[in-house]
Amino acid sequence: MCRFVLYLGPEITVSSLVTEPVNSLIHQSFHSHEGTEPLNGDGFGIAWYVPAISEEPALFKDITPAWNNLNLLNLARVTRSSCLLAHVRAASPGLPVIQLNCHPFVEGPFAFMHNGKVGGFPSLRRLLANRLSDSAFNTISGSTDSEYLFALFLDNFRRLNEENDGCAAMAEALAASITEVEQLKKEAGVDEPSTLNLAVTDGRGAAVSRYISRGVERANSLYLHTGTGYTCRAGHCLMEAAETGRGAVLIASEPLSEDEGWHAVPPNSMVITGRDLQVTTVSLDSR
C-alpha cells in the first residue's frame, strides 16, 4: 500500500499537500486512515513542474520516511508549482527500499505514480519485458511492477499520440496499459487480482485510474476534489468554491482536509483532467 496526491491548478506550495493539511501526505506516511495498513514509511517522492525552465518535471526522492526528512520539509516550504505530485511508499514485502524504487517515476515530460500492485508480478515480469520497446525497456532502473507499468504506458503513449492530442492520448494510453497487463495475466494463467490506482501527468493535464480486477471487492481508495484553488491558512486547508468552481484539481488516496467536497472516485473508473482543467470521469472495464 502506498498513498499519493496529484494537484493541478493555480500555483501552491508543496507544503499545502505534504505538511499543512490535517491529513497531509506526511500524516498519511505514519497514520493513513484508509490504507490497508496505516504505515507508509518506506521512502517518498515529490515531483513538480517549472514550465518557465523546462517541460521535464523536477524530482526529489529519498528512502527515509517522509515524516523525518528535513530536506523534504525545507523544499515543501518554499517550492511552488501549478502541477505537483507526492507519494509515500509502503514497500511490497521482499522488494528493496531504494531510491529508484520510490515514486514518482519521470521520463521526458511525464511523471507517474502507483498505489497498489500487479497481481502475480514475478510470473509476469519477463512477459512484460518482452512486450516493451528497447527504449521503454531501457528506462527501467529498478525492479518494481510500477516501473514496468510506466514503461508500458510510455510505449502505448507513443503509439496513440500520433492520432490524438497529448491529453487524450495520455488517458487512452493509461487505460490501454491496464487492459494489456490484465490481458497478459489471463494468458499467463495468473489469478491474483491487481489494484491499479495509477496517476500520470505531463504537467498540464492528467489521468488517474481507480482500478481493481474483476470479482474482487475493495478497490484502493481514491478521492477527487475540485474548485478554484486550494489554500492553507494557519493549518486550515480548503478548496475554494468547492464543487461549483473550476480550475483547481486534487486527486488523492485520502481526503487531505476536512472541508466538504471530497468525492470518492467510483471503482474501475478514470479521472481525466484536460488542458483546460475540466474534469471528466470515465468507466474502465474490469477484467
Contact 170, 107 (CB under 8 A): no
Near a copy of itself in 136-155, by CB under 8 A? 137-138, 140-143
Cβ closest to a copy of itself, residue 13 vs residue 209:
13
CB of 61 to a copy of itself, least distance (A): 7
Decide: is 234 part of the binding site for a copy of itself (CB under 8 A): no
Cβ contacts of residue 286 below 8 Å, gap of 6+?
Answer: 211, 212, 213, 214, 267, 268
Catalytic residues: 2
What gap in Å lies between CA 21 and CA 16, rounded to an integer?
7
| Selected binder of a copy of itself within 92, 98, 229, 240 (CB under 8 A) | 98
Alpha carbon distance 203, 57 (integer Å): 8
User: Which of the residues 32 through 51 are near a copy of itself (CB under 8 A)?
Assistant: 39, 41-42, 48, 50
Which CB sits closer to a copy of itself, 61 or 117? 61
CA separation, residue 221 to residues 141, 157, 286 (Å): 28, 26, 16
Q: How many secondary structure helices (H) and strands (E) does the chain include?
A: 7, 15
Task: With CB under 8 A as the rule, give the number of residues binding a copy of itself.
Answer: 44
User: Do the strands 279-283 and 80-89 form a parallel or antiparallel pair, or are they unpaired?
Assistant: unpaired
Least distance from C-beta 195 to a copy of itself, angstroms? 21
Return the amino acid letter for 219: A
> Is 126 an interacting residue with respect to a copy of itself (CB under 8 A)?
yes
Least separation, in Å, of the C-beta of 161 and a copy of itself?
23
CA distance 37 to 133: 36
**Given candidates 22, 36, 55, 99, which one binds a copy of itself under the rule CB under 8 A?**
99
| Choice between 104 and 193, CB closer to a copy of itself | 104
Nearer Cβ to a copy of itself (39/168): 39
Q: Which of 161, 58, 46 is CA-nearest to residue 103?
A: 46
155 near 107, Cβ under 8 Å? no
Q: Binders of a copy of itself among 58-97, rule CB under 8 A?
A: 58-65, 67-68, 70-71, 74-75, 77-78, 80, 91, 96-97
CA–CA gap between residue 249 and residue 127 (Å, rounded): 36
Which residues contact a copy of itself by CB under 8 A?
13, 30, 39, 41-42, 48, 50, 53-54, 58-65, 67-68, 70-71, 74-75, 77-78, 80, 91, 96-100, 122, 125-126, 129-130, 134, 137-138, 140-143
